[in-house]
Each structure stands twice: as C-alpha cells, then as structure tokens.
Amino acid sequence: MNSEEILVGHSVIKIIRGDITQERVDAIVNATNPSLRPGGGVCGAIHRAGGQAVTQDCRRVMAERQPLVPGEAVATVAGDLKARYVIHALGPVWKGGKQGEPEELASAYRNSIELADRLGLSSIAFPSISTGIYGYPLMPAANIALRALRAALERTRTVREVRIVLYDPDSYEAWLAAAR
C-alpha cells in the first residue's frame, strides 16, 4: 500500500486516502468556516454525515461566542459519525502567504491536537485544512501542517494517532511527498 507513517515520540502520523466522514476515531477534525455553518466541501460532508445533532451543537456553541478567528478550534458532538467529537478548526483563506496564513494554518493543527489532548482522546483524523475552497497551495500547506503536528505531538499526553485523510489523488500525492 502506497501510504506513509511518521513516528513522533510515542505517536504516529498516518497519511491515507479516503473519505474522512467514514473514519472511526475519537475526533474528526472539520475544516470549518468562522460561524460553524454546514457550508460546502469537507464541512458540508461532515455535517451531512453527522446529521442534525452536529449542526445543532454548532448553533449552540455559536450562540455563546464570537465567530472563530483563523487558527481556532472548538469541539462539538459527533452525531451519527463514528467518532466521539467533531473538532471544528478554522484555517486561513490564502491571500498570497504574507498575511499570517502560515502561522494561522499551523495554529489550526496545533489547537486541534491540544483540544483533543485536553479531552483525553487518543486518535484524531484531519482533512487537508484550507487547501480546497480557501485556496492554500497544497505543498506548503502539507509541509506547515506536518511541522506543526510533529511539534504538537511531542507534548501530548493522550493523543497517539493522527490520520491525515486525503480525498483526492492530488492532495494525497502532495502530502506523501511532504511526508517523505
């Protein structure tokens, strides 16, 4: 199988191809929008697969807080998904790379891992945040994400397995290249 595993301390990062809505993990990360609306892309797919419970819990969270800023992550229930939580992380919109996008993208991954660790979770699945509708170029995004994940995993208490679930062949190849 053409996949890649990176060992980091007591943890592993796995690069795999698939549909993240089918993953069986403690937390599925959603590449969300500032107001946690269903929207399109992977976010729409996660809301559809998780069902009303996810969308309603997003509304409950938003009733009590301001819109997310890029890099932030919040947890909700996972509804019908094979997960305990959805962690909604907001990546940056690509504006050329000189307006804080790399730091914001790294924060989205780091904050998701730290939130999962605070919740005592062991496994977490990520999509390729910001590289769809938000337009972040794939190779730099994968490199930044892997660096941020390695650094975050050095400090985790409970998170042991990170799966990067790539839907399309181009994303998968870019992440494999970054991992190697």
* Chain contacts with ligand ADP (rule: CB under 6 A): 19-21, 31, 41-43, 45, 91, 127-134, 165, 167-168, 171
Q: Cα torsion at 12, 79, 30, 178 (round to 10°)?
A: 30
Which run of H or of E encompasses 17? strand 11-17
| 91, 31 contact by CB (below 8 A) | yes
Nearer to ligand ADP, 7 or 139 (CB): 139
CB of 75 to ligand ADP, least distance (A): 18
Rounded-to-integer distance, Cα 49 and Cα 135, Å: 24
CB of 43 to ligand ADP, least distance (A): 6
| Structural tokens at position 107 | 């924060």
| Structural tokens at position 127 | 């999509």
Helical H segments across the chain, by residue range: 41-50, 52-63, 101-118, 138-153, 169-179
Nearer to ligand ADP, 45 or 177 (CB): 45
Nearer to ligand ADP, 32 or 156 (CB): 32
CB of 170 to ligand ADP, least distance (A): 8
Rounded-to-integer distance, Cα 111 and Cα 6, Å: 20
Nearer to ligand ADP, 21 or 107 (CB): 21
CB of 28 to ligand ADP, least distance (A): 9
Nearer to ligand ADP, 10 or 110 (CB): 110
| Pairing verdict, β 27-31 and 123-126 | parallel
CB of 102 to ligand ADP, least distance (A): 15
